[in-house]
A = this chain, B = another copy of it.
Amino acid sequence: MSARPVARATRRSARTRERIIEAATEVFARRGVHGTRVADIAERAGIAYGLVYHHFRNKEEILTAIFAERWAQYVAYLEDLARTPLSFRERMGRLIHFWVETYRHEADLMTVMINEITRSYEFLESHDITAVLAAFDPIERIIAEGRLNGEVRADLDAQLATYVVLGVAEMVLTGYVIGSLQRIDQEAFARDEQQLLALLLDGMSTPRP
């Protein structure tokens, strides 16, 4: 009964839990939460499906865990950004870069967050929507600050603009996800970042002389 076996067990258990989350993220991304059977997750994780219930009360709770553990990181990044003393343009550039990079490295996670969390009536119903909307706050603050220091138009509705910014991110990432926007090399993504930044900050119109 030394502490070690427990520790080992705990460590192993934690690894199993993490494996389940990773496996769930993959299959949720591919088939949606509803279209995924617990058995699919277990199979992907290489464990017996009964074991999933040692770590999570039910399927829904796996999604909740994904949300709890990843969304917080995401919001934390946004909060950091909102606190960093940079120009509005610089901040927006970083924001866009963050989204594109996250998609590139964790496309499945991004897909799940977009489809099953941000968009899911069911998820929003059964969870504290505040946590979801927490991602909106720092962006709104960034915009509001930009307005205060004159970088952003004075007449801009910061709340609405926040939706615009997030909508742009979501749709472009969705284009990546479903493959209708095909980008292969680093350069193509970089070009998109510049385009998006220009679009959001300067609009589509030809600048008046």
Contact = CB atoms under 8 A, between A and B. Distances in A.
Given A199-B156, A205-B201, A171 B170 contact: yes
A23 interface: no
Contacts of A136: 180
A146 interface: yes
B121 A180 contact: no
Interface in A159-188: 159-161, 163-164, 166-172, 174-175, 178, 180-181
A205 B89 contact: yes
A199 B203 contact: yes
Interface in A79-122: 88-89, 115, 119-122
Total identical chains:
4
A153 B205 contact: yes
A196 interface: yes
A111 B10 CA distance: 39
Instruction: Please name the 4 residue pairs, one residue from A and one from B, whose CB atoms are nearest each other, closest first.
Output: A167-B171, A203-B203, A34-B34, A202-B203
Interface of A: 30-32, 34-35, 88-89, 115, 119-122, 124, 129, 133, 136, 143, 146, 150-157, 159-161, 163-164, 166-172, 174-175, 178, 180-181, 191-192, 195-196, 198-208
